[in-house]
A and B are shown apart, each in its own frame.
Chain A
Amino acid sequence: NAGVTQTPKFQVLKTGQSMTLQCAQDMNHEYMSWYRQDPGMGLRLIHYSVGAGITDQGEVPNGYNVSRSTTEDFPLRLLSAAPSQTSVYFCASSYKRGAQETQYFGPGTRLLVL
């Protein structure tokens, strides 16, 4: 299994540009999430999905859209990039065993917005 893959690894955008961060998992996990990581702030949840066709907002959803048309893919769209969206973005998928969830993280996408 490839696990959780993310593309691109690095991206530079100009303010106002749009782009899509790709995330795919081949473990047939129901749950997928997007986080951003900023220095001194840990990981903050942007959006998450509990299954194909179902998405919900996390802690910091503004400026981002998601969709989940298949179990495998969970793309994150930046509608109009702003410098405040400069961050490292992590996608994760998870499965549940009873009440316990195990999350698997992708390697991250480093985004710089000028």
Chain B
Amino acid sequence: GEDVEQSLFLSVREGDSSVINCTYTDSSSTYLYWYKQEPGAGLQLLTYIFSNMDMKQDQRLTVLLNKKDKHLSLRIADTQTGDSAIYFCAGGIQGGKLIFGQGTELSVKP
């Protein structure tokens, strides 16, 4: 089955860029997703990338996909304290079978 791996913690200073990394084993996923979970809340879709794309930019967010290395990253420019949350990458497979990584806890220090 598919496995999705993320590092557990990342700490940055306000105003710096954050890069959250994710590796996956199954390359059959048509889409790959990034979700954000704020404390005590459910997950919220941040952005996604089609597996045929290398990069997608959405305001402060940049998603990079390296299909050869099965590596996905999320870059947050000008990170703010409000960006502190847990970020999950997920590989989407049909029928609601979304496989999630363990989540990366991003801590933004003022």
Contacts and interface: CB of A to CB of B under 8 A. Distances in A.
A32 B96 CA distance: 7
Contact of A92 (B6, B96, B99, B103): B96
Interface in A54-87: 56, 58-59
Interface in A70-113: 90, 92, 94, 99-108
Contacts of A33: 96-98
A4 B44 CA distance: 12
Interface residues of B, number: 27
The 8 closest A-B pairs by CB, nearest first: A105-B42, A31-B96, A48-B96, A42-B100, A33-B96, A43-B100, A42-B102, A99-B30
Given A43-B43, A103-B98, 8 more contacts: A31-B96, A40-B8, A42-B6, A48-B95, A50-B96, A99-B31, A100-B31, A103-B43
